[in-house]
Amino acid sequence: MSLKKIYLPERFNYIACFLNLNCNFNCDYCINLFDGLDNKGHLIPGNDWVKALNRLVSRSDLPITLQGGEPSLHPDFNSIINKIHNGQNIDILTNLSFDVEIFAKEVNPSRLKRKAPYASIRASYHPQQINADLFIEKMLYLKKAGFSIGAYGVLHPLIKDHILKTKKKCEQLRIDFRVKEFLGEYRGELSGLYKYEDSVGCKTKRTCKCRTSELIIGPDCNVYRCHHDLYKGFPHIGNLLDPEFDIEDKFRDCDQYGDCNPCDLKVKTNRFQNFGHCSVEIKDVGGEK
């Protein structure tokens, strides 16, 4: 039985598809570990992912983004990409640890290419985990194979200089390399620009109402209110494989204000690369929980 279509609200800015929350890298500055990763979920077969994602009716400027963890650790990674219907654009966030030659043989570059101000495959560079020359070699291989690919690095204080040096080297090779601010704590100080005061990294929690502009899908196709709930293993609000599920674009009661995840509340660029966007809208902040 085919599942009914799910239409993305016009104001939605991102579709986050976490194929898994596992990673083969171990970076101490990983944003997924900001306040503990309590929900690694369980992997579901690739065919179930395809069935779930093919329900979505999006727009040409709003792709499904396959991410993690490291999405390529899913055993059906390439198959999922190939079986998502052609009317749906696909992006990938990856650490580029997979075999790029096998990937290029099994995946058509046209499935990961669209008109956008940034690349469809966005590879994160982690100097403590992968050699810069190998990373660049993999980037160039996929670029030569016809894929839309770019790189980015996090400006953590301990690796900032190296990231900027690698960025310059990539640009000389005509590789798009962008940088992201470090989000989280370093030496007791919280880094990052957040829209709402005292929403991140506080010891006290308060009540509020919030709504997201993202569809956040966990490893078992559960849909979550925000990144905080996904990573913390809080109750989900639905499941893409549930025939009755639909998106309710509404404010929801919350009692976790102060312990929000930086990904939800940082001020950043939207999918059009316009700065000033925040994924979650919050109102009616109340007293302590």
Q: Is residue 197 part of a domain?
A: no
Instruction: Let me know if residue 202 belongs to a domain.
Output: no
The residue assigned the tokens 């790029």 is 100
Would you give per-residue pLDDT tens digits along the chain (289 residues)?
Answer: 689 999 999 999 999 999 999 888 888 777 766 555 555 667 899 999 999 999 999 998 999 999 999 999 999 999 999 999 998 999 999 999 999 999 999 999 999 988 888 999 999 999 999 999 999 999 999 999 999 999 999 999 999 999 999 999 999 999 999 999 998 888 888 888 899 989 998 889 999 999 999 999 999 999 999 999 999 999 999 999 999 999 999 999 999 999 999 999 999 877 877 888 899 999 999 977 6
Tokens representing residue 116 in the block: 């956008």
Domain total in the chain = 1
Examine residue 56 and state whether it is found in any structural domain, yes or no.
Answer: yes
Range of the domain at 50: 11-189+214-250
Tokens of residue 191, six digits? 């880094």
For residue 72, give the nearest of 51, 90, 98, 101 by alpha carbon: 98
The answer to whether residues 83 and 119 touch, using CB atoms and an 8 Å cutoff, is: no
Within-domain flag for 239: yes
On whether residue 63 sits in a domain, the answer given is: yes
Q: Are 280 and 246 in contact (CB under 8 A)?
A: no
In a domain, 241, yes or no: yes
The verdict on residue 272 lying in a domain is no
Q: Using CA of residue 126, residue 131, residue 136, residue 137, what is the dihedral sign?
A: negative
pTM value is 0.94
CATH number, domain containing residue 58: 3.20.20.70
Q: Judge whether 85 lies within some domain.
A: yes
